[in-house]
Structure 1
Amino acid sequence: MIRYLLDMSRSRKRLVSLAYDFVAIPLAIYMAMALRYGTMNLNITENLVYTAAITALVTSAAFIRLGLYRAVVRFMTERAFTSLMLGIAISALTLATSAFLLQAAVPRSSIIIYTFTAYMFLGVPRLFVRGMVAQLIKSNAEPVIIYGAGKQGMSLVHALSSSEFYRPVAFVDDSRKKQKTSIQGLKVWPSKQLDDLCDTYGVKKILLAVGKTNMQTRKHLIEELAERKLEILITPSFGDIISGRAKIEEVREVDIEDLLGRDCVAPNSTLLETSVRDKVVLITGAGGSIGSELCRQVLMKKPTKLVLLELNEFSLYSIEQELQATNEELKLSVPIVSILGSVQKQNRLETIFKTFNVQTIYHAAAYKHVPMVECNVVEGVRNNVFGSWYCAEAAITSGVERFILISTDKAVRPTNVMGASKRMAELVLQALSTRQTDTLFSMVRFGNVLDSSGSVVPRFRKQIKEGGPITVTHPDIIRYFMTIPEASQLVIQASAMAKGGDVFVLDMGEPVKIVSLAKKMIHLSGLTERTDINPNGDIEIQFTGLRPGEKLFEELLISEDVEGTEHPRIMTASEVHLNWPETHNLLNRLDKACHNFQVDKVISLLQEAPAAYDKQNDCTDWVLNEPNSL
């Protein structure tokens, strides 16, 4: 019957509710008078019938006016029941008035009794339906345990009360004060009882609601839970909930950022705004992983104008749409200009910079995928070295105040063309800083960013989703990781401290073993690793060997000459570089070698530069190694 009612159309449900109320109100009057006289054998006069009919009509009209028939019974809130009480009060007043005017035999005491019988006939069925529907829904919902019985945990239980997906069965909390208590009908257990609770209720998922715990504590807790072969879901942060970006019930899978991340250092607002606020800011490679996040961060600081330069049309369209939506939603009123173009065309770059009076440039455009650049040496050098040079020369000609190169840890003692080309780009900017001082050049060097287009994390996620195997190049390979938002914020803050030719190095925290990362991602998915010891596991890890030009570990510094800055996670390094005549001569020779497609000569010139380029393997360039190549 409940299923039949739930499947009816909204208009039919309203008609059923209205018809029921129209019948229930006279029954409530009859019951009130029966209770008053102490007998069911009442003398029902014509005037009493008219009185009951008038009361039913007026009450139904009041309920319509109060919106009771618009309220979905299964989701009725306290506010709806308050409206119901108000409607019953109007009904009692109508009963008293109509009985007086029609001289119906309705004792005054029965009107008071009527308020209770009316609630019994009108309110209790609604409560009953709501309860039955909740039980019906919950019977198919997955049982979950909420870890954390604080405010966030209690809010989560309340939010999930009408969820079709999750049914909370217990709290787990490490606070002894909360243990053995009952919160919103759920008992609070210590964490040592977790395994028993999972067996008792058949729980396979844990909802993490630990509020403002620091990153280290959260990381330890997630790792501990993941070892139990439980899938871990996490609630949004209070900041996202308060700002409206997320709802408490919008639980998500634990991202690897929750394990590799670290406690954030509050950004220095002065440093964030110096190069951006009230400036015309241009970002090259605006559609890339780092470039797009730089766009988001810069937009929030209200530049005079934000210019996006991107070679890929779809990437440019995507970030433009997102930024325009943010612009309108937050009423920032920042003009956004989207320009398709390559950083390898200096004349066009000068035109753009002069037209929009650009003051700050974040140069994120580059080819960053190591194996891809190894197989396309000339284009990799053209984009990373000459693209940076032409962009920098255009900035000088156009009177740009600050130019910030987004560099990489692979530029330190590189073993691949990509790293060598990025180090060469650094040398170009350092040399240009000795040639002139009007434009402040600086570069910011950091390691891998999580979820970037070239990161292992998205690839591992895809491989896990497909059932494996996860492919890792080497069991001992190590990398530094940082979240994209943190890296972008630090880049903007570093640019404010530039004096000319600065090499800024970001504190990347502790290095991460990639095979350990793969294992953690398997556990976080509630799966197990398949090994010789555990042949029935879910996901296997396979080692494929180092790719051309790949290093076992990356470094951030060429020399040990490093100093701190006013930001605890930004350092500045003093490193060897060439003067401008030497750099210019090297660039001209490199340009000629690229033009003639002399790949070996290009690599030789990169080795000649003070980039400490240590070529590890034979060149894998596709064109060079094609048997039919000229």
Structure 2
Amino acid sequence: MVTLPFFKPININTMTWDYFKKRLSHVLLNGDNDLKFRNISYLPRWAVVAIDSFIVILSFLISYLLVENLSVSFYPSLTILQQGFVVCLVQFSFFFVFSTYAGLIRHSTTVDILKIALAAISAALALMMISYGYHLLFDKKLFLVPFLAIFATITFGLMLLFRVVVKSVYQLFTNLNTKEKKRVLLLGVNDDTISVGEAMTISRNQDFDLAGFVSFTKSHSKIKILGKPIFKYSSDLYENLQPYDIDGIVIVGNTISNKQKNNIVDECLNYSIQIYNAPVIKEWNDSESVQGNIKEIQIEDLLERNPIVLDDSLINEYLNNRIILVTGGAGSIGSEIVRQVSQFNPKKLIVLDQAESPLHELELELRSMFTDVAFEFVLADVGNLKRLTNLFNKEDISVVFHAAAYKHVPLIENNPSEAVFVNIIGTMHLANLSSQFGVDRFVMVSTDKAVNPTNVMGASKRAAEIYVQALQAKESKTCFITTRFGNVLGSNGSVIPHFKKQIAAGGPVTVTHQDIIRYFMTIPEACQLVLQAGTMGQGGEVFVFDMGKPVRIMDLAEKMIKLSGFVPYEQIDIKVIGLRPGEKLFEELLNDKAKTLQTHHKKIMRAKDQVLCMEEVNNFIIDIAAAAEQQNNTLVVKRLKELIPEFLSQNSIYEELDKDVKIRT
């Protein structure tokens, strides 16, 4: 047995190289010792200058000895010490001229090497000019040309060697704990992936070890990039990778389509290979490390969504230098509308919400992000007519984005009266005030659940749509525009964050029905389309958004569990709990050509809806509001069904009302 100061007692015969590396890594990088190499972020500038000074002096001495052994006599004009002083001074002057100390040695590139070469050559040429200038004036030379050439060569060689050694030593200590890192492949062979690969190989304190690249074009069996092999993407790729102990694959930027990405993810999950996303280098967050920019792929990244092309000039035309009001501005949809509107230089942006804490947090965020925008944050309930009237009296509002609403289906099914006060009465107050005060555009955020509603929430939003359409038909100068879309990824209470919490808690993941499907859209793209739809309307239109392909929620749950590194039904169970009150099994298709018309934007369509006269709508709203004031939930739903004959309750206590409700004619 042998005991070393920083190793535990071990048997020399069992000390393999891998074990040695692991223990050395622990001691030097993580152990309780005085070295702690991982804390050395870079060589101090003074240390580099000192080492380079030593190299220049050493180069002078070596050059002097070489030339002296050639039986060549130095010019007697200057002593050797004087020559050494002048040569070193000139050489250092050119080091600073070419900024050879501008970068970190461990990140030296060919550009840095070129700077050193230019500095060495320039110094030699300058010394030659000084020598010949002195010769013209005093008929004496100062330096031997062969000596200057040898000095420049040796100086460049030693400085290059110094930088190579520093990079190699740093890389050695960085890679000592390679076995503890995730061995990953970069998908694709192009400038973007190679740049990410370089960042992975030179960065410290990161969790990834670059194992190679995957090429979609052809095999590069005889070529290596950054010293790493290139694998050909094929059907048997994953079997071929097994001997290499690959932990993950990194997809850089938008190099592949969503369809390809989904196929690759499915294959990788079958072989227990993790998938990561990384933006291209120019989009990296400078405040984060390599692992901060390379993140595990999320289910949101796998939904087949095509990028949205907006006409910013039209959006800018009705938002720039205008006073804008966003209701429900602290919510997931409203806050994103606020962020996007802020980019179009509004004269003033009024953010209204009844939720105090979210509104305060949003204020702190926006004032730091958009320092040039004049914000006003209003704590108010859209059901408070007096509060809203005071606001419209005070401000010359040009555009209203109405996103305030109660939206959770089961909760609203049990509290219909509250949906009336916010979703219907609140919309009515805002629409009336917008018309009264000459607001240019009123853009209401609605939902696909308003189409053939099966629950109170959808019916209340449909009633709000009916009211603003009737108000438009009454020859209002305000342009009333309604936008409909479905489930929004990441919004408060949506299914994906809910599943993530359940998986993090160890399951089970709960799905309401085996065959339930939903359409999904990201918050930014939904809000982009809301802004774009605001440019299209002439008044009274209902715009619906193309939500893409529907997603089976059971498939979504299974894939999310796999992406989290677990096995569905074994490590994380999935339970079917039954449809919630008012919940549909299949959402309506928003792009049904029989009910919609195309617009000039391929993702936005115009729905054809029957418009009622304002007098008739007012009578219904009065009856609905009266029932809500009485807190008579059954009567509220009954009156809603009279206004909206297509409202047929599903999985709800109000299904009985569909048998004898008086249908509007």
Normalising by structure 2, we get a TM-score of 0.80
Count of aligned positions: 608
2:322 paired with 1:279:
yes
Quote the Cα distance in structure 2 between the aligned partners of 1:556 and 1:417. Answer: 20
Deviations 1:499-550 (A, max 9, x none): 333222212122111111112222333x24333xxx4xx4322222222222
* Alignment partner, residue 31 of structure 1: 62
Aligned pair partner of 2:339 in 283, 290, 296: 296
Aligned pair partner of 1:235 in 268, 271, 278: 278
Aligned in 2, Cα 1:9/1:155: closer, same or farther, shift over 3 Å?
Answer: closer
- Of 334-343 and 513-522, the range deviating more from structure 2: 334-343
* Alignment partner, residue 421 of structure 2: 382
Quote the Cα distance in structure 1 between the aligned partners of 2:37 and 2:159. Answer: 19
Quote the Cα distance in structure 1 between the aligned partners of 2:142 and 2:445. Answer: 89
2:297 paired with 1:266:
no
- Of 110-119 and 87-96, the range deviating more from structure 2: 87-96
* 1:281-360 paired onto structure 2 within 5 Å: 281-328=324-371, 333-360=372-399
Aligned pair partner of 2:237 in 180, 190, 194: 194
Aligned in 2, Cα 1:152/1:19: closer, same or farther, shift over 3 Å?
Answer: closer
Superposed CA RMSD = 3.9
2:163 paired with 1:121:
no
* 1:584-595 paired onto structure 2 within 5 Å: 584-595=618-629
Which amino acid in structure 2 is aligned with residue 391 of structure 1?
L
User: Is this contact kept in 2: 1:197–1:203, CA < 8 A?
Assistant: no
Instruction: Describe the SS at the equivalent of 2:652.
Output: coil
Which amino acid in structure 2 is aligned with residue 145 of structure 1?
L
* Alignment partner, residue 539 of structure 1: 572
* Alignment partner, residue 623 of structure 1: none
Q: CA deviation at 1:174?
A: 1.8
Q: CA deviation at 1:212?
A: 4.5
User: Is this contact kept in 2: 1:443–1:503, CA < 8 A?
Assistant: yes
Aligned in 2, Cα 1:175/1:348: closer, same or farther, shift over 3 Å?
Answer: same
Quote the Cα distance in structure 2 between the aligned partners of 1:399 and 1:437. Answer: 9
Q: CA deviation at 1:13?
A: 4.7
Aligned pair partner of 2:202 in 155, 159, 162: 162
2:560 paired with 1:521:
yes
Q: CA deviation at 1:208?
A: 1.0
User: Is this contact kept in 2: 1:172–1:194, CA < 8 A?
Assistant: no
Q: CA deviation at 1:17?
A: 4.1
* Alignment partner, residue 172 of structure 2: 135
Quote the Cα distance in structure 2 between the aligned partners of 1:181 and 1:80. Answer: 26
User: Is this contact kept in 2: 1:26–1:53, CA < 8 A?
Assistant: no
Aligned in 2, Cα 1:50/1:296: closer, same or farther, shift over 3 Å?
Answer: same
Aligned pair partner of 1:600 in 601, 612, 634: 634
Q: CA deviation at 1:483?
A: 1.6
- Of 292-301 and 439-448, the range deviating more from structure 2: 292-301
* Alignment partner, residue 447 of structure 1: 486
Instruction: Describe the SS at the equivalent of 1:186.
Output: coil
User: Is this contact kept in 2: 1:147–1:153, CA < 8 A?
Assistant: yes
Aligned pair partner of 1:500 in 539, 545, 551: 539
* Alignment partner, residue 214 of structure 2: 172
User: Is this contact kept in 1: 2:485–2:544, CA < 8 A?
Assistant: yes
Instruction: Describe the SS at the equivalent of 2:418.
Output: helix
Quote the Cα distance in structure 1 between the aligned partners of 2:69 and 2:463. Answer: 100
User: Is this contact kept in 2: 1:22–1:57, CA < 8 A?
Assistant: no
Aligned in 2, Cα 1:370/1:424: closer, same or farther, shift over 3 Å?
Answer: same
Quote the Cα distance in structure 2 between the aligned partners of 1:178 and 1:356. Answer: 66
Aligned in 2, Cα 1:434/1:25: closer, same or farther, shift over 3 Å?
Answer: closer
Instruction: Describe the SS at the equivalent of 2:429.
Output: helix
Aligned in 2, Cα 1:467/1:95: closer, same or farther, shift over 3 Å?
Answer: farther
User: Is this contact kept in 1: 2:221–2:231, CA < 8 A?
Assistant: yes
Give the percent of matched residue pairs that are identical in Structure 1 and Structure 2. Answer: 33
User: Is this contact kept in 1: 2:219–2:230, CA < 8 A?
Assistant: no
Instruction: Describe the SS at the equivalent of 1:183.
Output: coil
Quote the Cα distance in structure 2 between the aligned partners of 1:177 and 1:9. Answer: 40
Q: CA deviation at 1:384?
A: 0.9
Q: CA deviation at 1:593?
A: 2.2
Q: CA deviation at 1:336?
A: 2.9
* Alignment partner, residue 435 of structure 1: 474
* Alignment partner, residue 567 of structure 1: 601
2:361 paired with 1:361:
no
Aligned in 2, Cα 1:598/1:11: closer, same or farther, shift over 3 Å?
Answer: closer
Quote the Cα distance in structure 2 between the aligned partners of 1:306 and 1:161. Answer: 46
Which amino acid in structure 1 is aligned with residue 202 of structure 2?
S
Aligned in 2, Cα 1:530/1:509: closer, same or farther, shift over 3 Å?
Answer: closer
* Alignment partner, residue 145 of structure 1: 185
- Of 365-374 and 170-179, the range deviating more from structure 2: 170-179
Structure 1: 5+ residue stretches without partners: 620-630
Quote the Cα distance in structure 1 between the aligned partners of 2:45 and 2:310. Answer: 55
Q: CA deviation at 1:395?
A: 1.0
Which amino acid in structure 2 is aligned with residue 451 of structure 1?
G
Which amino acid in structure 1 is aligned with residue 229 of structure 2?
K
User: Is this contact kept in 1: 2:420–2:625, CA < 8 A?
Assistant: no
User: Which structure is higher in RCO with an 8 Å CA cutoff and minimum separation 6?
Assistant: 1
Aligned in 2, Cα 1:65/1:492: closer, same or farther, shift over 3 Å?
Answer: closer
Q: CA deviation at 1:229?
A: 2.3
Quote the Cα distance in structure 2 between the aligned partners of 1:409 and 1:232. Answer: 33
Q: CA deviation at 1:145?
A: 0.3
Deviations 1:161-217 (A, max 9, x none): 312322322111221276754334333211235325543332211111364444333
Aligned in 2, Cα 1:618/1:75: closer, same or farther, shift over 3 Å?
Answer: same
Instruction: Describe the SS at the equivalent of 1:508.
Output: coil
Q: CA deviation at 1:38?
A: 4.3
Which amino acid in structure 2 is aligned with residue 618 of structure 1?
I
- Of 428-437 and 140-149, the range deviating more from structure 2: 428-437
2:252 paired with 1:252:
no
- Of 172-181 and 485-494, the range deviating more from structure 2: 172-181
Quote the Cα distance in structure 2 between the aligned partners of 1:28 and 1:590. Answer: 94
Quote the Cα distance in structure 2 between the aligned partners of 1:388 and 1:208. Answer: 45
- Of 306-315 and 166-175, the range deviating more from structure 2: 306-315
Q: CA deviation at 1:321?
A: 4.1
Which amino acid in structure 2 is aligned with residue 584 of structure 1?
N
Aligned in 2, Cα 1:575/1:57: closer, same or farther, shift over 3 Å?
Answer: closer
* Alignment partner, residue 410 of structure 1: 449
Instruction: Describe the SS at the equivalent of 1:549.
Output: coil
User: Is this contact kept in 1: 2:131–2:143, CA < 8 A?
Assistant: no
